[in-house]
Structure 1
Amino acid sequence: MTEQQLTYYFERYAQGKLSEEERVVFTGLLKDPANKEMVEQILDRDWPLWENNQLDFSQEIARIEQGVASRIHADTAVSEVRPVHRIRFLQKWGWAAAILILLGAGAYFYTTSKKTGKDFVKGKAISTPGILPGSNKALLTLSDGTTIPLDSAARGAIAQQGSASIVKTANDEIIYDARGLSQGEVMMNTMSTPRGGQYRLTLPDGTTVWLNAASAVTFPAAFTGNNRKVKVSGEVYMEVAKNAKMPFIVDVDGKAIVEVLGTSFNINSYTDEGAIATTLVEGRVKVLSANAAPSGGVTLRPGQQALQQHNIATITVNANANLEQVLAWKNGIFSFTGKSFSSVMKDVERWYDIQVRYEGAIPTRKLKGEMDRGVQLTDLIRFLRGFGLHVELKDRTLIIGEK
């Protein structure tokens, strides 16, 4: 990517003229560390362009900074509107976080300019209370019933389960540091995330688990025997440590079984989504109904997705799953393109810990594009209003209807 090509996307963005396809490309370019120096140079050089196009950084960045402050671990949030210059913008937040803020502002400016036909419009304050996005929150339940709120737990060793020391790292990840195999009672632990929470866990065998909001994984503090068996609910992404002598087995809500040797995959088993979706990223997995014979089931290749209705044992295979969309939550993104409106709103409910209520029928229109999951709910409200919807927030209920 040359500076001239990147400049093209910046200028189209500043003028509100990006197409849906260009916006996806532009977002990827901004997030690529290889483009860091060019992005900084363009922001510095073309700052007057942003101001001339009425991009009100003084209000918009102050508002969005508050929404992402907890995610990027800022010491304090901006509490007053003051002139914003490129040097403070980048020095205060650092390059990666500044891009997050820039994209959060752009989600509103882009859709608004598309709707009004203007090059740019200044952001107007929304008279709704600020609801922050989800964050690293989870509860760890030990074998004796002891519960540890992980978001408030100090970093370092937080508990001991048999031969495994449970450690909270500087990155707020939980690691089970197993010293050999447990010879005594199997100690089952459960990590669960609330609505508005997510967390990352490394199991005793080195398998890494990412939990989306309202999800859980139950596992032994030390793996013994001929296999490694865990149970999950909600949505999880797993990178399984290879061990041909101990196959990795996932029990999905007691309804489906996923057998693994070493691979990466995503499981979505939210009961309100209608089907259990197991999507293979790399390696190989076998998916079968919990009541099926071991010889049954389907074996997936990378890029394929197994679908099983919650109350039906039959499994169908989607041969060309959209991996970018499936993994969007793990990568900190809301992906709208190709999803039903109701499915998007279910993601929103879980992530912001709110309720969605519809005035009349559920809108049938298709949303497009993507948005960073680090923005406040007010930014999402602006995004939805940009599609011509009536959107109103009362307490923690988001009311949506056609205008």
Structure 2
Amino acid sequence: MKKEELIQILMRISSGEASDEDIHLYNNWCNSFQGKSKSIDDFEQIKANMLMEIEKQTHYQTRTSQTRLLPRIGIAAASIIIILLVGSYIYLHSGKQSETPRMAIKDVAPGGNKAILTLGNGQTISLDSIHNGQLAALAGSNISKPQNGLLVYSAENNNSEAVQYNTLSTPRGGQYKLVLPDGTKVWLNAASSIKYPTTFKGTNRAVTITGEAYFEVIHNAQKPFRVTVKNQTIEDIGTEFDVNAYGDEAVIKTTLLQGSVRVMKGNSFVVLQPGQQAIVSDNSDDINIQEVNASNKAAWINGFVSLDKVGVKEFMNQLSRWYNVDIEYTGTIPNKKYGGLINRNSNLSDVLFALKASGINTRLEGNKIIVLPN
């Protein structure tokens, strides 16, 4: 099949307009890798080249001019995107092909803008139910919700020495964006929290997080910005970075997109450069560094779930948090790796159908995904 023809098929698949013949040709293309002894690197390069071609023919969305552009893919495309970039990967290694017809299953909607704001006096505000506008005036800041999904602290002159701390928390199936009093922007992923002062006093700006958060820090060399997570500290040196520290993951991952950060634990520290990720476990002060596709690691702030060579369990943990469902395994966890992007606006049925087409069998029972033996 010519590259141009394949790209047009993928475009129709992504828009939900693919015919049975398109799907058949696509499956044949996947299977063509089986007998050619192509390496993982060969496949990854082909996949990257195809993505670049598709990106040229689609609309784009971007957060800043420096970050990698991501394709604006329709909601209907989600299941096919996972088949394209996950299914092909599985076909390549397992030799399995699935053309199982889609079965009707109970659906679960994706997460959305949901969060609870806890003030210093213990008062709680449900941000997804309260009207837009000013919420409160505290020592050093005015708090407002200018639009759904965004909480903004506006600094004001304050001579008081008292510092109040607020906490923003997202449930499973929630996300929220926060602008701190110094202008630093924070994206909070599902099942996460950030504790911060309503005004930054003293010689540094310190916040504490759980779960996952992405930071665009307003740099100030005289007042460094520090993120504390468990027993680890990340200090910005003019920076955009992502911190993933969920309790159900074995390690804490700090990924740098721009600038520089210092990651510290115990007596150890490293300084990351863009495109690097620091990996730290709970039971060690060792800090390991690996090169990664940093934009993929932070794809969730642009509305995508990134599958960057992740295993089934890590992927299922992401589904659990975003769709607010539990996960149960009924046998050995499949030893397969994933790659690509999934639109976070997709219903769960699209994702589970794509998993089935890719050889991962699941069953949805109430609020639980049961991963079945192959």
Alignment of 1:4-153 (within 5 A): 9-14=7-12, 15-16=22-23, 17=26, 20-21=47-48, 24-25=51-52, 28-29=55-56, 30-32=58-60, 99-104=73-78, 106-107=80-81, 124=102, 126-153=103-130
Choose which of 246, 268, 274 in structure 1 pairs with 2:244. Answer: 268
User: Any conservation in 1 of the 2:82–2:340 contact (CA below 8 Å)?
Assistant: no
Report the CA distance between 1:181 and its aligned residue.
4.0
In the TM superposition, residue 104 of structure 1 has moved relative to its aligned partner by 2.8
Task: Give, as a single letter, the amino acid of the residue that structure 1 aligns with 2:355.
Answer: L
- Give the distance between the partners of 2:158 and 2:259, measured in 1 at CA: 27
1:189 aligned counterpart, secondary structure: strand
Question: 1:362 is matched with which residue?
Answer: 333
2:310 maps to 339
SS of the equivalent of 1:389 reads coil
Q: Distance in 1 between matches of 2:257 and 2:83?
A: 34
Q: Secondary structure at the match of 2:372?
A: strand
| 2:367 aligned residue | 396
Selected match of 1:238 from 210, 215, 223: 215
- Give deviations 1:96-120, integer Å, cap 9, x for gaps: 98x42342363477589987688xx
2:284 is equivalent to residue 307 of structure 1: no
Task: Report the Cα offset of residue 230 of structure 1.
Answer: 0.7
The match for 1:223 is: 200
Q: Tell me, what secondary structure is at the counterpart of 1:367? A: strand
Paired amino acid for 1:10: Q
Counterpart-to-counterpart distance in 1, 2:358 and 2:136: 49
Cα distance between partner residues in 2 of 1:302 and 1:337: 17
Which of 264, 284, 293 is the equivalent residue of 1:288? 264
- 1:259–1:360 distance in 2 versus 1, CA, 3 Å: same
2:117/2:168 contact within 8 Å kept: yes
- 1:298-357: CA deviations, max 9, x gaps? 111111111110121221221x12213311222211222411111111111111111111
The amino acid across from 1:180 in the alignment is: N
Q: Which residue of 1 aligns with 2:189?
A: 212
> TM-score, normalized by length of structure 2?
0.80
- Specify the alignment match of 1:257 in structure 2: 233
Displacement of 1:200: 0.3
**Structure 2 letter corresponding to 1:24:** L
1:28–1:327 distance in 2 versus 1, CA, 3 Å: farther
Matched residues in 2 for 1:172 and 1:335: separation?
21
Distance 2:148 2:135 in 1: 15
Matched-pair identity in % = 35
Superposed CA offset, 1:28-56 (max 9, x none): 3424269xxxxxxxxxxxxxxxxxxxxxx
Aligned equivalents of 2:156, 2:278: Cα separation in 1 = 36
Q: Secondary structure of 1:297's match?
A: strand
Aligned partner of 1:197 among 139, 161, 174: 174
C-alpha distance in structure 2 between counterparts of 1:196 and 1:364, whole Å: 27
Task: Please report the TM-score for the alignment, with normalisation by the length of structure 1.
Answer: 0.74
Match of 2:165 among 172, 182, 188: 188
Contact 2:83 2:357 in 1 (8 A): no
Q: Distance in 1 between matches of 2:318 and 2:54?
A: 21
Q: Distance in 2 between matches of 1:399 and 1:182?
A: 56
Question: 1:215: Cα distance to partner?
Answer: 0.7
Q: Confirm or deny: 8 A CA contact 2:110 2:173 kept in the other structure.
A: yes
Name the SS of the counterpart of 1:282 in structure 2. Answer: strand
Q: Partner residue of 1:317? A: 289
Which SS does the other structure have where 2:310 is aligned? coil
Q: Secondary structure at the match of 1:285?
A: strand
Deviation at 1:222, TM superposition (A): 0.4
Asked which structure has the greater RCO (Cα within 8 Å, sep 6+), the reply is: 2
Q: Number of paired residues? A: 327
Distance 1:182-1:399 versus aligned 2 partners, 3 A rule? farther
Correspondence for 2:348: 377
Q: Distance in 2 between matches of 1:6 and 1:152?
A: 48
Q: CA RMSD in A?
A: 2.7
- How many angstroms does 1:368 deviate by? 3.4
